[in-house]
Structure 1
Amino acid sequence: MAHSYFHAVISVKKWGGIPEDYQAIHSWFDGSKAILADMRHRALRHHAEGIFMAEQVFGVTMTNSAGRTVPVRLIGEQHVLDDLGHIPSFADWARAIEPARWMVRVSPHAPSTQSVSPAGALPIAA
């Protein structure tokens, strides 16, 4: 979705209230657009673990302006489902990341023997 406001409008249709009731939660999910302004920003919070992180940030439930108590987890699930059509795990996102040499920090004091990653491409410090 192009803007978190539209996620908030969908939340209103599901649970009542006004978009502003949900805006902070949906903006948090999409806040990673400040880091990377394409769909890859979703790797940071659009997954099952991100939904549980939202509970830590916003609490287990929120009460909207209509007086209805709504679980934050359901709001997070709605956001991720709207964007992806399913709820991936962080591991699903991580498997899509192409490993690169700069991701492996080898200490200058490490023994000279190195093992090789399962894919056979990158050295892994022993």
Structure 2
Amino acid sequence: MAHPYHHALSSAKKWGGTAEDFLDLHTWFDESKMITADFRHRALRHHAEGIFMAERFFGHVLTLSTGRVVPVRLIGEQHVLEDLGFIPSFADWVKCIRPEPWMGRTKRLAVETDPPAAEAA
């Protein structure tokens, strides 16, 4: 699958309704293409936690134009399965990130140990 519309067509075939019933949800999964326009965008939402996150944005169920009610989680699972063939965890994605020195760099925080002179007077 390459485009949210094709996922939406697949959903309509599976659960009824129209592609438009599903398009916003499938577009949400692929919005991360705005950040990186290759397969790496999937690391942000194409995993188990991303599927549960979709429920926070769209609710637990989607009511189709036909009146049928479909769990959002099932639609999210369909999207990820169509793209990846399985549902990874976020940890599956993270373990594939090669650590770079800048990722662990921290700066010393400015912490005052004594109150400023104006406050002490």
> Normalized against structure 1, the TM-score is what?
0.84
Deviations 1:14-69 (A, max 9, x none): 10000000000000000000000000000000000000000000000010011100
Does residue 28 (structure 1) correspond to residue 24 (structure 2)? The answer is no
Q: Report the CA distance between 1:105 and its aligned residue.
A: 2.6
Deviations 1:85-112 (A, max 9, x none): 0000000000000000111132336xxx
- Once residues 75 and 102 of structure 1 are traced to their aligned partners in structure 2, the CA distance between those partners, rounded to angstroms, is 37
Structure 2, unmatched stretches of 5+, are: 110-121
Structure 2 counterpart of 1:105? 105
> Normalized against structure 2, the TM-score is what?
0.88
Structure 1 counterpart of 2:96? 96
Amino acid at match of 1:10: S
CA-atom RMSD in angstroms: 0.9
Bigger strand share:
1
Name the count of aligned residue pairs.
Answer: 109
- Percent of residue pairs bearing the same amino acid type: 66
Structure 2 counterpart of 1:54? 54
> 1:5-20, aligned counterparts within 5 Å?
5-20=5-20
- Once residues 68 and 16 of structure 1 are traced to their aligned partners in structure 2, the CA distance between those partners, rounded to angstroms, is 8
Moved over 6 A (4+): none
Bigger helix share:
2
